[in-house]
């Protein structure tokens, strides 16, 4: 399941709507410590954000970092987890 969501999110970063990445990252982060989503966020920024910081900050990377680490205590508190991640 985790691999499937990773692939789906990666495809979203390449071809689909950008918010698909955030939904995928949130979904998988509720169950796992999904650090692979950082890679997806980074890929989205690599592809779509122009090089200069004048065009803006790497929001997708920031968003995935925030999702993974903000959801960490929620995941530990509310969801049954085996610590895999």
- The least distance separating other proteins from the CB of residue 26, rounded to whole angstroms, comes to 15
**To which residue do tokens 């969501």 refer?**
5
Q: How many residues bind other proteins (CB under 8 A)?
A: 38
Subset of residues 17 to 36 that bind other proteins, contact rule: CB under 8 A:
17-19, 33, 35
- Chain positions 43 to 62 lying near other proteins, rule: CB under 8 A, are 43-53, 55-56, 58-61
CA 78-82-83 angle, to 5 degrees, is 90
Q: What is the dihedral of CA 54, 58, 59, 63, to 10 degrees?
A: -160
Tell me if 72 sits within 8 A of 25, measured CB to CB. Answer: no
Residues at the contact surface with other proteins, assessed by CB under 8 A: 11-19, 33, 35, 38-39, 42-53, 55-56, 58-61, 65, 68-69, 82-85
């Amino acid at each position: 399941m985790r691999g499937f969501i990773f692939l789906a999110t990666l495809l979203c970063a390449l071809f689909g709507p950008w918010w698909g990445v955030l939904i995928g990252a949130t979904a998988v982060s509720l169950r796992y410590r999904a650090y692979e989503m950082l890679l997806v966020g980074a890929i989205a920024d690599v592809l779509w954000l122009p090089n200069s910081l004048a065009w803006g900050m790497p929001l997708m990377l920031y968003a995935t970092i925030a999702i993974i680490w903000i959801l960490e205590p929620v995941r530990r508190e509310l969801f049954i987890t085996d610590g895999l991640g």
